[in-house]
Amino acid sequence: MSFTRLVLVARWSFSQLLLSPRTIGMGALAFTPVFVAVVYRVAAALELAPGISGFRVFSVLTASISLPFVVPMLSLFYASGVVSDDAEAGTLRYFLIRPIPRPELIFGKMIASATMALFLFVPPFVLSYYLTLAPSGFAELGTRFPTLLRDLLAVALALFAYNGLFALAGTVLRRPLLFGLFFVFGWQAGAAVVPGSARLFTVTHYLNSLIPRGGAGGALAQLTGERATMPEAIVALLVIGAATHLLAAWCFRRKEL
Partner 1 sequence: MSASVIALRGASRWYGNVLGLSRVDLTFEPGVTALLGPNGAGKSTLLKLVTGLLKPSAGSVEVFGEPPFANAKIYKKLGLVPEEEDFRARVTAIEWLEYLVRLSGVDGALAPEVARRALDDVGLSEAAERRVTAFSRGMKQRLRIAQAVAHDPEVLVFDEPLTGLDPAGRREIIDRIRLWGAAGKTVIVSSHILHEVELMTREVVLMTAGKVMASGNIHEIRQLMDAHPHHILITTPDPRQLAARLLQEEGLHSISYSEERAQVELVTREPDHFYRLVAGFVLDGTTTIEEISSPDDNLEAVFHYLVGK
Partner 2 sequence: MPLHDLSYQRFDGARTSRAERIVAIARTTITQLVKRRAFLMLLSICWIPVIVRAVLIYVSRQFPQVAVAMTVDAQLWRQFLEQQIILLPVLLIALYTGASAIASDFASGAIVIYLSKPISRLDYCIGKALPVMSALLVVTLVPAFALLIVQLSLAEDFALLKESPFLPVSVLLYSLWICLFFTIVVLAVSSLTRSGRVAGAGFFALVLGSKMVFFVALTQLRLNDPPAFLSLMDAPADAGYLFFGNLAGGDAPALSMASMATVMALAILVLRRRLTAAEVAS
Give the footprint of partner 1 on this chain (CB under 8 A).
5, 8-9, 12, 16, 19-20, 88-91, 93-102, 253-254, 256-257
Per CB under 8 A, 67 contacts partner 2: no
Chosen from partner 1, partner 2, none, partner binding at 22 (C-beta under 5 to 8 Å by type): partner 2
Per CB under 8 A, 40 contacts partner 2: yes
- Contacts of residue 78, Cβ cutoff 8 Å, sequence gap at least 6: 17, 26, 113, 114, 116, 117, 163
Q: What is the dihedral of CA 190, 191, 196, 198, to 10 degrees?
A: 140
Burial of 193 by CB count in 10 Å (0-12 exposed, 13-18 middle, 19+ buried)? exposed
Binding mask 81-120 for partner 2 (x = CB under 8 A): x--xx--x--------------------------------
Per CB under 8 A, 35 contacts partner 2: yes
Rg of the chain (C-alpha set): 19
- Contact with partner 2 (CB under 8 A): which of 6, 29, 96, 141? 29
Question: What is the Cα–Cα distance from 24 to 117, expressed in whole angstroms?
Answer: 13
Question: What is the Cα–Cα distance from 149 to 129, expressed in whole angstroms?
Answer: 11
Contact in structure between 55 and 144 (CB atoms under 8 Å): yes
- Nearer of residues 120 and 233 to partner 2, judged by Cβ: 120
Chosen from partner 2, partner 1, none, partner binding at 99 (C-beta under 5 to 8 Å by type): partner 1
Question: What is the Cα–Cα distance from 26 to 205, expressed in whole angstroms?
Answer: 25
- Contact with partner 2 (CB under 8 A): which of 7, 18, 45, 52? 52
- Contact with partner 2 (CB under 8 A): which of 12, 185, 187, 250? 185
